[in-house]
Structure 1
Amino acid sequence: MKTTQCALAALVFSTPLMAADWDGTPVPADAGPGNTWELHPLSDDFNYSAPASGKSATFFERWSEGFINPWLGPGETEYYGPNSSVESGNLVIKASRKAGTTKIHAGAIHSNESVTYPLYMEARVQVTNLTMANAFWLLSSDSTQEIDVLESYGSDRPSETWFDERLHLSHHVFIREPFQDYQPKDDGSWYPNPNGGTWRDQWIRIGTYWVDPWTLEYYVNGEHVRTVTGPSMIDPYGYTGGTGLSKPMQVIFDAEHQPWRDTQGTAPPTDEELADPSRNKFLVDWVRFYKPVPDTNGGGPGNGSISVEKEAEDFDNVGGYFSDGQSQAISTYTTGATTAINYVNREDYADYTVTVPEDRIYNITYNISSGITGGRIDFLVNESGTWSNKTQTAVPNAGWNNFQPLSGGTVYLEAGTHTVRLYGAGTHDWQWNLDKFTLSN
């Protein structure tokens, strides 16, 4: 939603009570027990004007042109101030040819202030039809810690279909001298369009909840689609010195030509593509940021304590591809005082009937163990006969039978009875053992 010209004039004299574009769109992440979400002042609905050259005072309250330091960008990228603007209710990040060169002028802006966890951040965007990256990301001032809320490569070239149909949801930790770089490379870091086809011809809500230094939750169009948690996923080589993603970071929106794509045979945009206004603009309708704060209202709807616990062995049905010589794909066993399921291999699953008392977002917690690296547990819900994958959670290697609580992110469920599937989706033939899982607020 965008305001009219009259409403824009009124916005100059707005108060915090005036509506923003995201009003009525709930925050999909859970603020935690006893907390509620408080809007951070960096949030911007871009309902003002900031021309390509000169920008405006309203723009400069939050943002600056270019990168967070004098670097001009990767590969053939050359960040160029006039290729960012605010017009027609959108932030516009444009790509164009630098005349007489192979360089690509690309828009980029960064936040004046740094932000830190816990923080939920979300933008409504439409990506370019170019082989360049469309990026919404955070970076520490020393360029050693990075959170990529969005990297998207939308192009209608036949060779680019795989990238065109996926969003990259990731992070980096670096050592600068000698240079070392880690980012997750599991399948879950590339999120395919659940409806099939491209992402570029639609508006997308893309969000990340930076829960703490060791936990990131990713959300696409209000659905929790990925969680990375623990040292094995955030920083397995200790590049942060044991601190995880702990440094304050600035927010960046930009377009980039990334050289790694050249090495895979992806040619940079052509002059014709860069000159086409229907292709060369990365649009941001709004961006919002929230901090969890204590809920001083209390007692409101949905504020009561809810905990729905399901023992793993109480499954309705199991299936999959590996039986390990067992009578069925998944077995039940007892270790000490714990009864759990085991022989869960890649592509095995267990189905459960779960009843919840309220329409709300629920926290998922698994009591789980694994003795391998590369395990993943997915939480699916049967919606009118179709399995919808709600969350994907990497399972850390803490040892078989060493059951530990693991945050599985959040899922929105309406009051009533649901059929839930827990799916072994990692890369290893073996996956995990499970004692129980819990849905709570």
Structure 2
Amino acid sequence: MKKISVLIALCFGLFGHSQEESKSYGPPKPPMGKRWVMNPDFSDEFNGTELDTTKWLDHHPTWIGRPPGLFLASQVSVADGYLQLKGEHMGKDTIVHAYGKDQTFNIAGAAVVSKKKTMFGYYECRVKAAATTMSTTFWLSTVGSFQGPNECDSYGLELDIHESIGREGDFDGSYFASGMHSNAHFWYNDCEGKRHDYRAPQVRFEDERLTSENFNVYGAWWKDESEASFYYNHRLPKHQRFYDKIKKKPFDQPMYMRLVSETYPFPWIELPGKEELADPSKNVVYYDWVRAYELVDVAGNYPNGNLEKELQRYAESVIFDEAVLELPKSKALGIPLSYKANENRLLVMELWDGGNKKLMEKSMEVLPGYGHLTFDLHPKTALKKGGTYRITAKLRPLGQGVKKVLDTNTLMLYLR
């Protein structure tokens, strides 16, 4: 078990997960010539006793919450290895004057917001929803507005990686209690001052389980200004093209990360009742971790390269793109492969003939992260057209004379 809290003493095994399970998640294969590295400004394991205020705010700086749910810093805590957002009834109505009018609140919600903005990359979290109709969310959005293509217009952006509730009920949005739901909003203010919510088609993963039954991993690869791909647990990804009728490349601004538990309006979602909000086994959202990755050149230095080593993030490995590779006979052989490394490692490539004779060996140092590269071999021995060869890749620790092998893989090579 990674973590045990007082609550799970009553339900052993519900919250725990192995280190190997954690390593099985992460970004998809990077493009050729790139590698994923962790971005520490938006990554947190929540293993301390309080919120890391160098990274996060315990409130939403521009939004107090959707009535009747008011964001309160008192509802944010870090304990037992989790970021915890608690929903509670406030006991009495509270009037808050905001946005030019008085609003009534009587439910306490919570919001955690990144201090920095981020742009393209892979973002994921492992979270267990509260078993109420309070939301469990993981999203990115801009603050303020940006000049539109007509100079008199403006726009803002929101990428909802996941949003859900934790229980079903007799309301329109009951489906929101299971699976994964992802939306991309292009908030557009036209030249007449009218505001529009232009959305890309929703990405949705179905699941029979409620989001509050156990932890799930929700991820998104914000690829560029035009598209994103979404990931739910170990399923194949689903893809989304952003709304581009106003701007051809709409998602062109950096955004803040949000982890929020709020109320939704009836009849879409009913408000949580006092009884469920008073039940500590139901009223807390548990974020196990949040992790962010960015793409860099596979051989490029990265100033924050220690997080992979600190977390032992990867089951270190070397992976060929395919089991059998067919190449034209040439003096140079380009072998595509990927690797995962928690620190600087030595990648060794061996070329063998059909008679199990080693023809050559070449090595290179690779940097921490998840990389995708072409390893060039230049055999001194003339290879035969139509011949079949074997290539063995080994990932080793650095150090002269170190023979330990962290992982090995084999590829069959055919020369046409």
Asked if Structure 1 and Structure 2 have the same fold, meaning a TM-score greater than 0.5 normalized by the shorter chain, the answer is: yes
Question: 2:233 matched to which residue of 1?
Answer: 221
Q: Does 1:275 align with 2:263?
A: no
What is aligned with 2:85?
93
Is the alpha carbon distance of 1:4 and 1:197 closer, same or farther for their aligned partners in structure 2, counting shifts above 3 Å? closer
Partner SS for 1:37 = strand
1:295 to 298, 301, 311: 298
1:307–1:205 distance in 2 versus 1, CA, 3 Å: farther
Give the aligned partner of residue 254 of structure 2: 248
Q: Which among 62, 75, 78 is matched to residue 55 of structure 2?
A: 62
1:276-425, aligned counterparts within 5 Å?
276-296=279-299, 301-302=318-319
Structure 1: runs of 5 or more not aligned: 6-19, 309-356, 362-414, 417-441
Change (3 A) 1:358 1:35: closer
Identity of aligned residues (%): 24
State the secondary structure of the residue aligned to 1:273. Answer: helix
SS in 1 for 2:53: helix
Report if aligned partners of 1:121, 1:289 keep a CA contact under 8 Å in 2: yes
Contact 2:179/2:204 (8 A) holds in 1: yes
The aligned counterpart of 2:8 is none
- CA drift at 1:100: 0.8
AA paired with 1:33?
Answer: M
Question: Is the alpha carbon distance of 1:154 and 1:172 closer, same or farther for their aligned partners in structure 2, counting shifts above 3 Å?
Answer: same
- Please list the CA deviations of residues 81-109 of structure 1 after superposition, one character each: whole Å capped at 9, or x if unmatched: 01011000000011111221252110111
User: Could you tell me how far apart the structure 1 residues matched to 2:277 and 2:205 are?
Assistant: 26
Matched, 1:167 2:180: yes
Distance in 1 (CA, whole Å) between partners of 2:116 and 2:110 is: 19
Contact 1:68 / 1:141 at 8 angstroms: preserved in 2?
Answer: no
**1:46 to partner: Cα distance:** 0.5
- TM-score under structure 2 normalisation? 0.60
Q: Quick one: distance in 1 between partners of 2:221 and 2:49? A: 29
Q: Does 1:184 align with 2:200?
A: yes
Q: Name the counterpart of 2:263.
A: 257
Q: 1:190 Cα shift?
A: 2.7
Contact 1:28 1:223 in 2 (8 A): no
Quote how far apart the aligned CAs of 1:284 are. 0.4
Inter-partner Cα distance in structure 2 for 1:161 and 1:198: 11
1:285 CA displacement? 0.3
Q: Which residue of 1 aligns with 2:213?
A: 201
- In 2, the alpha carbon distance for the partners of 1:61 and 1:23 equals 25
Q: Distance in 1 between matches of 2:30 and 2:132?
A: 36
Residues of 2 paired with 1:286 and 1:151: CA distance? 16
Provide the residue aligned with 2:138 in structure 1: 136
Q: Structure 1 CA distance, aligned partners of 2:4 and 2:197?
A: 46
In structure 2, the partner of 1:40 is 39
Kindly state the Cα deviation for residue 236 of structure 1 after the two structures are TM-superposed. 4.0
**1:24 aligned partner:** 23
Letter of the 2:178 partner, please give it: E
Cα distance between partner residues in 1 of 2:45 and 2:32: 29
Quote the offset at 1:132 in angstroms.
2.2
TM-aligned CA deviation for residue 73 of structure 1? 1.4
**1:2–1:47 Cα contact (<8 Å) kept:** no
TM-score (normalised: structure 1): 0.57
Change (3 A) 1:85 1:277: same
Instruction: In structure 2, give the amino acid aligned to 1:289.
Output: A
Contact 1:73-1:79 within 8 A present in 2 as well: yes
1:191 aligned partner, one-letter code: F
* Paired residue secondary structure (1:82): helix
What is the aligned partner in structure 1 of residue 311 from structure 2? Answer: none
Are residue 237 (structure 1) and residue 230 (structure 2) matched? no
Please provide the CA RMSD for this pair. 3.4
Q: Deviations over 1:221-264 (max 9, x none)?
A: 132331012xxxx11431xx3331111101010111122xx134
Matched residue, 1:79: 71
The answer as to whether partners of 1:136 and 1:148 remain within 8 angstroms in 2 is yes
* Deviations, residues 46-96 of structure 1 (Å, cap 9, x unaligned): 01001xxxx5xxx10110111132x21123121100101100000001111
Q: Give the Cα separation in 2 of the matches to 1:21 and 1:302.
A: 18
Kept in 2, the 8 Å contact 1:217–1:224? The answer is: no
Distance in structure 2 (CA, Å) of the matches to 1:23 and 1:192: 22
Please name the residue that 1:211 is paired with. 223
Aligned length, in residue pairs: 280
Q: Deviations over 1:113-148 (max 9, x none)?
A: 11011x101101000111122111101122610111
Please give the secondary structure, in 1, of the residue aligned with 2:49. coil
Give the counterpart letter for 2:79 in structure 1: E
SS at match of 1:91: strand
Question: How many angstroms apart in 1 are the aligned matches of 2:199 and 2:177?
Answer: 21
Q: Deviations over 1:196-216 (max 9, x none)?
A: 232320110110000101111
Paired residue secondary structure (1:250) = strand
Does the C-alpha gap of structure 1 residues 163 and 305 become closer, same or farther in structure 2, counting only changes over 3 Å? closer
Distance 1:306 1:138, change over 3 A: farther
* Cα separation, partners in 2 of 1:162 and 1:3, compared to 1, 3 Å: closer
CA displacement at 1:304 relative to structure 2: 6.1
Which digits, 9 at most, give the CA deviation of each residue in 1:358-385, with x for residues without a partner?
9999xxxxxxxxxxxxxxxxxxxxxxxx
Pick the structure with greater CA Rg. 2
Deviates more, 1:175-184 or 1:279-288: 175-184
